[in-house]
C-alpha cells in the first residue's frame, strides 16, 4: 500500500531547538507557538493542567495516552482561559464519554486559541526531556501540512527561555476581588461561603481557583490582590493571614517586586503566612534563600513527598521547573518536606512563627486528601492568634 494511503499527511510539527522533529496530526487552533517543552505524568486532569497559570510559556507532553476522553466542563477550569501554550499527546482526542462533559476538547482548544498535536511517540519524547532537560520548541499546526522547518527550528533556538522571565505579571488579576466559592461536593457541586471568616489576603501570582476554594472551605474570607501589591496594600486590609499563590516563570524575576512586599509584611506584622509553589519560592527568597532551574522539573500527580517532621509520606501534585536550593536556607528557616524522587526541597517554615510554605499543590487531590491539612494548619494558626 502506498505511504500516502497507509497514513494521513502530517498536519502538525513539533520542532526542538536541537533540530529534532516530530510530525503528527494537529487539532485545536491553527498557527504556531514557541515555548519550553515539559511532560506531565498525571492520568487525569488535562483540563486543569491546560488552565493552570503555572504552565505559562510551556507546551505540555501528556504521558498518559487517553486525553480528551472525558471532554471539558467550565467547572474544571483553574482560570478563565487555557494558559499552557499547547499540548502533545500520543493518540488523537477521542469523543468524550462523561456525564459532566459539556464540550469536546478539540473544539475547546480551537475556541481558546491553543494548539494540539497527536500521534506522537510521547515515551520517546519524555525520555529525551528527562535526559537532555526541558527543550525550547516551536509547535505548528497547518491543515495543509506545509511547514517551513528551518524557520521553526530557528524560532525554537532563538527563544530566550524561562530563566530571567517574570510571567506572574502576565497571568495575575488586573484588580482585587473577593472569593467565596468553596470546594466541590456531591451532590450540589461548588458551594458558597456565607458566614464571616478569617480575613485572608491572597497574592495572585497565577492562582488556581481550587486553591482559593480550599481557603474558603477552611474558614477564610478571601480577598485576592494582584502580584504587584505592596506591603502597604496588604496591611491596609488588616489581614489575619496572608497567602502566596502558585504561578509561572523564574522566581528570581518575580521576586524583584514580590520579595520586598513579603519582607515588609513579615517585618511589620505577626500574621500567619502560607505559600504554595511559586509562593513557596517567593517566601524562600524573602527569607534569604536562593532558587535554581531544574533539569526537567516536576510535573505530575504521583510525586511522593516526605514530611521530615512527622515522617509521613504524601502523594502530591507538582508543577514547577525551578526549586528552592535547600543548601542556601538561612539560620532560623527549617526544611520541612523533601521529594522522595530526587531529594529536592518541597517545604520550609520559619522558626518561632506561623510562616510556612510547600512546593507542591495540596489542593490538587492526588492523594486524594493527603495534604489538605496544610489549609487547616493555616486556619488554626489564624484562630490561635485571634484567640490570643
Q: What residues act catalytically?
A: 277, 361, 363
CA 72 to chain centre: 18
Half-sphere exposure at residue 265, Cβ-oriented, CA atoms within 13 angstroms: 32
**Rounded-to-integer distance, Cα 70 and Cα 46, Å:** 10
DSSP string, 185-242: ETTTEEEE--S--EEEEEEESS--HHHHHHHHHTTEEEEEEETT--HHHHHHT--SEE
Please say whether the beta carbons of 315 and 366 come within 8 A. Answer: yes
DSSP 305: E
Q: Please report, for residues 130, 305, 306, 368, the alpha-carbon distance to residue 315 in angstroms, rounded to integers and kept in the order given.
A: 21, 6, 9, 8
Judge contact between 59 and 120, C-beta under 8 A: no
Cα-trace Rg, the chain: 21
Location of C-alpha cell 486525553: 67
Amino acid at each position: 500500500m502506498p505511504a500516502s494511503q497507509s497514513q494521513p499527511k502530517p498536519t502538525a510539527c513539533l520542532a526542538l531547538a536541537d533540530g529534532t522533529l516530530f510530525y503528527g496530526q494537529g487539532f485545536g487552533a491553527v498557527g504556531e507557538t514557541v515555548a519550553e517543552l515539559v511532560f506531565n505524568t498525571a492520568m487525569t486532569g488535562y483540563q486543569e493542567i491546560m488552565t493552570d497559570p503555572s504552565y505559562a510559556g510551556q507546551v505540555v507532553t501528556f504521558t498518559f495516552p487517553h486525553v480528551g476522553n472525558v471532554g471539558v466542563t467550565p467547572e474544571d477550569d483553574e482560570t478563565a482561559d487555557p494558559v499552557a501554550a499547547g499540548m502533545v499527546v500520543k493518540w488523537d482526542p477521542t469523543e468524550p464519554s462523561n456525564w459532566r462533559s459539556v464540550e469536546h476538547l478539540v473544539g475547546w482548544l480551537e475556541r481558546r486559541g491553543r494548539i494540539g498535536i497527536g500521534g506522537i511517540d510521547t515515551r520517546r519524547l519524555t525520555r529525551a526531556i528527562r535526559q537532555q532537560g526541558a527543550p525550547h520548541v516551536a509547535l505548528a499546526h497547518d491543515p495543509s501540512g506545509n511547514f517551513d522547518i528551518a524557520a521553526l527550528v530557528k524560532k525554537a533556538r532563538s527563544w530566550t527561555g524561562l530563566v530571567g522571565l517574570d510571567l506572574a505579571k502576565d497571568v495575575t488579576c488586573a484588580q482585587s476581588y473577593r472569593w467565596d466559592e468553596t470546594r466541590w461536593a456531591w451532590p450540589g457541586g461548588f458551594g458558597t461561603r456565607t458566614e464571616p471568616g478569617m480575613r485572608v489576603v491572597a497574592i495572585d501570582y497565577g492562582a488556581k481557583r481550587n486553591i482559593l476554594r480550599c481557603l474558603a472551605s477552611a474558614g477564610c474570607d478571601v480577598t485576592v490582590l494582584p502580584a504587584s501589591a505592596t506591603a502597604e496594600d496588604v496591611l491596609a486590609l488588616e489581614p489575619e493571614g496572608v497567602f502566596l499563590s502558585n504561578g509561572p516563570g523564574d522566581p528570581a524575576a518575580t521576586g524583584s517586586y514580590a520579595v520586598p512586599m513579603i519582607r515588609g509584611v513579615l517585618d511589620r506584622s505577626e500574621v500567619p503566612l502560607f505559600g504554595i509553589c511559586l509562593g513557596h519560592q517567593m517566601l524562600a527568597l524573602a527569607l534569604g534563600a536562593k532558587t535554581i532551574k531544574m533539569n526537567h522539573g516536576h510535573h505530575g500527580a504521583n510525586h511522593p513527598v516526605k514530611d521530615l517532621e512527622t515522617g509521613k509520606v504524601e502523594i502530591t501534585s507538582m508543577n514547577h521547573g525551578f526549586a528552592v536550593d535547600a543548601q542556601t536556607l538561612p539560620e532560623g528557616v527549617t526544611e520541612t518536606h523533601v521529594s522522595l524522587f530526587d531529594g529536592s526541597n518541597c517545604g520550609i517554615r520559619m522558626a518561632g512563627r506561623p510562616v510556612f510554605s510547600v512546593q507542591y499543590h495540596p489542593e490538587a487531590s492526588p492523594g486524594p486528601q493527603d495534604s489538605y491539612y496544610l489549609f487547616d494548619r493555616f486556619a488554626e494558626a489564624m484562630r490561635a492568634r485571634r484567640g490570643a
